[in-house]
Amino acid sequence: MSAVLSDLSSSIPFVQASGDSDDHQALTATLFVLVVLLTVGITFWASRNTKTAADYYAGGRSFSGVQNGFAIGGDYMSAASFLGISGAIALSGYDGFLYSIGFLVAWLVALLLVAELLRNSGRFTMADQLAYRMRQTPVRTAAATSTIVVSIFYLLAQMVGAGALVSLLLGVDGDTAKNLTIAAVGVLMIFYVVIGGMKGTTWVQIVKAVLLMGGTILISVLVLAKFGFNISDLLGQAADNSGKGSAFLEPGLKYGVTTTSKIDFISLGIALVLGTAGLPHILVRFYTVPTARQARQSVLWAIGIIGTFYLLTLILGFGAAALVTGDAKQRIVDSGGNLASPLLAEAVGGGSGTTGGAILLALISAVAFATILAVVAGLTLTSASSVAHDLYASVWKKGQASGADEIKVARIAAFVIGGVAIALAIPGQSLNVAFLVALAFAVAASANLPALLFNLFWKRFNTRGVLWSIYGGLISSVGLVIFSPVVSGKGLDPNGKNLSLLPTSIDISWFPLENPGIVSIPLGFLLGYLGTITSKERSSEDRFAELEVRSMTGAGAEK
């Protein structure tokens, strides 16, 4: 999720196939196929009971808090977390850890301010909650737009990463193979969503979370065992092996260089901690449980699972820095850190060329693949639901569409969104993955969170307030990135590689930060306030008492 993911696809040199790695790849491929068969089987099994719109969008609201907690973990611990954070720690030491903390603390915002109130007052999508006491058509259009934009950015990041990673792990080279991988991931994701709906997708997330936790715990225990469970020794060897000494264990190695990079880090930190509670694919998970109390339980479980996972990424990251040496270490560097976890698994299994190493490498690679599949399915479902429920049924049909029609449209939308994601991911392989994910968090925090919080806690909030905060947050966060060094003006690195998206001959940058959060998030709140007080609309206040009672007591909530 960090800069280590930068230029994932463009900078990866491909594995040279040798006799040993052929065996590894056969094993890896077998496990990948098993993961696919398992998830496809789950999807068919779950689809038997998907009949109504509530089944399709919200899994019939039949999941328990524990199940949904695992599913939230499955949705949240993306490939960028699993491979990116441990990779960031392996390369940048302590600075990589800062991401884990932001991603975890963010869950307190969701727990205290959003989860239960949203469960009680919404139905299927984020827009249901925002449009509760507002004019339906403009608010739903805005909320659906922002849902789709955030989800597509997040989706692209996962798919571009998936293409590069899977082809690397399987040792297949060349653009055709990478494009085929992206297309295959896209087709699978459309399949999960079209056939399985929310039930199938949720079970895929649960299985993935269990696999991911199992794999992470296994490797962590093996790493710690190498050091007699002495953390200090592990850190010491990581610092020595990194070649950077004790600075490797201290903050600032990566972000503490200039004043701008320090402000950029604060901006990123704010976006991460406020983005989670505005991510549409996380918000819709709260609708899959029967009551607000179960929504609370699911967040508590999610915090436990995600927190444990991020603690273990610390061991994986420092473990990779300490234990992976020689050629494998160079491969971690060349992959921008993304291969730290798989190569660490190989190292603790006995190293390259050993059976133990090959088995663990294949296992962790398959877990990473399951992770990617589950996250893209969740994102596609969320966007498709918003298209069908908000744009088709509410805006276009003015609420006159039947549940069966909505499901049909959602399935068509899943095809279209999946197709768009494949179409964008194939030429977009030179896009910076970190830029896409961090942008998704910044957009969610700028466009969605202010509107959600104002709607729940501020009586006077009205339609214009929603529109200004959503569109203002959306345009300012995306706009500032376009004029940031991420897109142009960074120039070349010492190896002559272009550090920005656009060719070096074009420089449109004037905004100095890579993450827009520190500007666009306060702007989203400010515009929500200004839009509200400049509008004469007071009708939104009429239903505020109803919204308050319903959100806090569950009176009249969807069952």
Partner 1 sequence: MPEKATPQAQAAYDRIHATDEFARLKKAYRGFVVPMTIAFMSWYLLYVLCSNYASGFMDTKVVGNINIALIFGLLQFVTTFGVAYWYAQYSAKHMDPIADALNDEYEQEANR
DSSP string, 281-327: HHHGGGGGSSSHHHHHHHHHHHHHHHHHHHHHHHHHHHHHHHH--HH
* Alpha-carbon separation of residue 369 from 35, 336, 382, 401 (angstroms): 8, 18, 21, 37
Applying CB under 8 A, which part among 2-10, 391-399, 406-414, 503-511 lies near partner 1? 391-399
Answer for which of 63, 265, 435, 454 binds partner 1 (CB under 8 A) is 265
Helices (DSSP H) in 48-135: which residue ranges? Answer: 53-58, 65-76, 79, 86-92, 94-109, 115-121, 126-130
Of the pair 185, 303, the CB lying nearest partner 1 is at: 303
417 and 243 Cβ atoms separated by less than 8 Å = no
Rounded to an integer, what distance in angstroms lies between the CA atom of residue 447 and that of residue 468? Answer: 9
Answer for which of 85, 213, 239, 410 binds partner 1 (CB under 8 A) is 239
Which residues, in sequence order, are CB contacts of 241 under 8 Å at separation 6+?
Answer: 321, 322, 323, 325
Of the pair 161, 269, the CB lying nearest partner 1 is at: 269
- Provide the b/e sequence for 146-163 (b: ≥16 CB within 10 Å): bbbbbbbbbbbbbbbbbb
User: Can residue 258 be called a binding residue for partner 1 (CB under 8 A)?
Assistant: no
User: Can residue 132 be called a binding residue for partner 1 (CB under 8 A)?
Assistant: yes
Answer for which of 243, 399, 427, 494 binds partner 1 (CB under 8 A) is 399
Applying CB under 8 A, which part among 166-174, 304-312, 346-354, 470-478 lies near partner 1? 304-312
Of the pair 293, 497, the CB lying nearest partner 1 is at: 293
Query: Which of 362, 550, 522, 506 has the alpha carbon at shortest distance from 450?
Result: 522
Residue 531 tokens read as 């839009």
Of the pair 120, 380, the CB lying nearest partner 1 is at: 120
Rounded to an integer, what distance in angstroms lies between the CA atom of residue 134 and that of residue 455? Answer: 9
Of the pair 3, 366, the CB lying nearest partner 1 is at: 3
Determine the Cα angle at 296 with ends 291 and 298, to 5°.
95
Q: How far is the CB of 366 from partner 1 (least distance, A)?
A: 28
Residue 521 tokens read as 């998030």
Cβ atoms within 10 Å of 503's Cβ, excluding its own: 9
Q: How far is the CB of 116 from partner 1 (least distance, A)?
A: 8
User: Can residue 245 be called a binding residue for partner 1 (CB under 8 A)?
Assistant: no
Query: Which of 271, 215, 278 has the alpha carbon at shortest distance from 82?
Result: 215
Answer for which of 38, 66, 105, 210 binds partner 1 (CB under 8 A) is 105
Q: How far is the CB of 98 from partner 1 (least distance, A)?
A: 6
Helix H or strand E encompassing 549: helix 544-553
User: Can residue 162 be called a binding residue for partner 1 (CB under 8 A)?
Assistant: no
Size of interface with partner 1, in residues (CB under 8 A): 58
Q: How far is the CB of 267 from partner 1 (least distance, A)?
A: 10
Residue 8 tokens read as 């994932």
User: Can residue 514 be called a binding residue for partner 1 (CB under 8 A)?
Assistant: no
Of the pair 262, 538, the CB lying nearest partner 1 is at: 262
445 and 475 Cβ atoms separated by less than 8 Å = no
Answer for which of 266, 412, 420, 519 binds partner 1 (CB under 8 A) is 266
Q: How far is the CB of 438 from partner 1 (least distance, A)?
A: 15
Answer for which of 23, 173, 250, 537 binds partner 1 (CB under 8 A) is 250
Q: How far is the CB of 185 from partner 1 (least distance, A)?
A: 32
Rounded to an integer, what distance in angstroms lies between the CA atom of residue 45 and that of residue 49? Answer: 8
Answer for which of 33, 112, 221, 423 binds partner 1 (CB under 8 A) is 112
516 to 545: interface string for partner 1, x by CB under 8 A: -----------------------------x
Of the pair 11, 136, the CB lying nearest partner 1 is at: 136
31 and 110 Cβ atoms separated by less than 8 Å = no
Residue 428 tokens read as 């977009």
- Find the binding residues for partner 1 in span 83-102 (CB under 8 A): 94, 97-98, 101-102
Residue 439 tokens read as 């942008």
Residue corresponding to tokens 């429920």: 389
User: Can residue 548 be called a binding residue for partner 1 (CB under 8 A)?
Assistant: yes
Q: Print the SS3 string covering 108-122.
A: HHHHHHHHHHHHHHC
Answer for which of 36, 183, 424, 549 binds partner 1 (CB under 8 A) is 549
- Find the binding residues for partner 1 in span 205-234 (CB under 8 A): 231-233
Helix H or strand E encompassing 136: helix 136-169
Query: Which of 324, 328, 283 has the alpha carbon at shortest distance from 130?
Result: 283
Query: Which of 488, 532, 528 has the alpha carbon at shortest distance from 507?
Result: 488
Applying CB under 8 A, which part among 126-134, 277-285, 345-353, 425-433 lies near partner 1? 126-134
Rounded to an integer, what distance in angstroms lies between the CA atom of residue 338 and that of residue 11? Answer: 12
User: Can residue 123 be called a binding residue for partner 1 (CB under 8 A)?
Assistant: yes
Q: How far is the CB of 236 from partner 1 (least distance, A)?
A: 5
Residue corresponding to tokens 């969610």: 444
Answer for which of 300, 333, 424, 499 binds partner 1 (CB under 8 A) is 300
Q: How far is the CB of 238 from partner 1 (least distance, A)?
A: 9
Of the pair 300, 420, the CB lying nearest partner 1 is at: 300
> Side chain identity at 422, as an amino acid letter?
I
267 to 286: interface string for partner 1, x by CB under 8 A: --x---x-------------
Answer for which of 66, 108, 177, 180 binds partner 1 (CB under 8 A) is 108
Q: How far is the CB of 170 from partner 1 (least distance, A)?
A: 35
Angle between helices 292-323 and 94-109 (to 10 degrees): 180
Of the pair 302, 486, the CB lying nearest partner 1 is at: 302
Q: Which residues of the shown chain bind partner 1 in the complex (CB under 8 A)?
A: 94, 97-98, 101-102, 104-105, 107-109, 111-113, 123, 128, 131-132, 136, 231-233, 235-236, 239, 246, 249-252, 255-256, 262, 265-266, 269, 273, 293, 296, 299-300, 303-304, 307, 310-311, 393-394, 399, 545-546, 548-550, 552-556
